[in-house]
Amino acid sequence: MKSLIAKMVKIQSELKAPKNQTNAFGKYKYRSCEDIIEAVKPLLTREGLYMSISDEIICKGEGQSARFYVEATVSVTDGENTILTKASARESFDKKGMDDSQITGSTGSYARKYALNGCWGIDDTKDADATNTHGNEVTQQSFKPSASFSI
């Protein structure tokens, strides 16, 4: 039976997540978190892997300098071994036309997208969306296999 890493390498080599979304204001194409998830689902099924995504709100700093980040974690498991990939995005203090929950939601989507990019080896460096933070500061964490073996 193939190892978890070998299965993930196979998925990474075959995954196609085209940029089917268009930003009318910036006039560029991009892929969303949902696009990546839909593209990877059949490959996960074929390889017998389970993927989940979770978010955690993290406060960095204190008082007036406190900032909130959404840290997204992508977890991929074969039932015995698990690999985690994380990325975080900072919430904007104010985003015109959005209430607090919408700001957190859009920040979470952004963090999830970059955690998925890290997990599946998707390079967004040529993507205009990669250089447009939409008011969010993005910090990507490197791909780190987890020592956790729980499901």
How far is it, in rounded angstroms, from Cα 103 to Cα 98? Answer: 6
Q: What pTM does this model have? A: 0.74
Residue-range definition of the domain harbouring residue 33: 4-145
Report if residue 151 sits inside a domain: no
Burial of 25 (0-12, 13-18, 19+ CB in 10 A): exposed
- pLDDT the model gives residue 126: 55
- pLDDT the model gives residue 39: 95
Name the DSSP class of 92.
Answer: P
Q: How many domains does the chain have?
A: 1
- pLDDT the model gives residue 111: 94
- pLDDT the model gives residue 94: 65
Q: Are 9 and 108 in contact (CB under 8 A)?
A: no
Report if residue 52 sits inside a domain: yes
Report if residue 89 sits inside a domain: yes
- pLDDT the model gives residue 25: 85
Residues of the chain short of pLDDT 50, as ranges, are: 127-131, 133, 135-151
Report if residue 150 sits inside a domain: no
Report if residue 67 sits inside a domain: yes
Tokens of 90: 């900072």
- pLDDT the model gives residue 151: 30
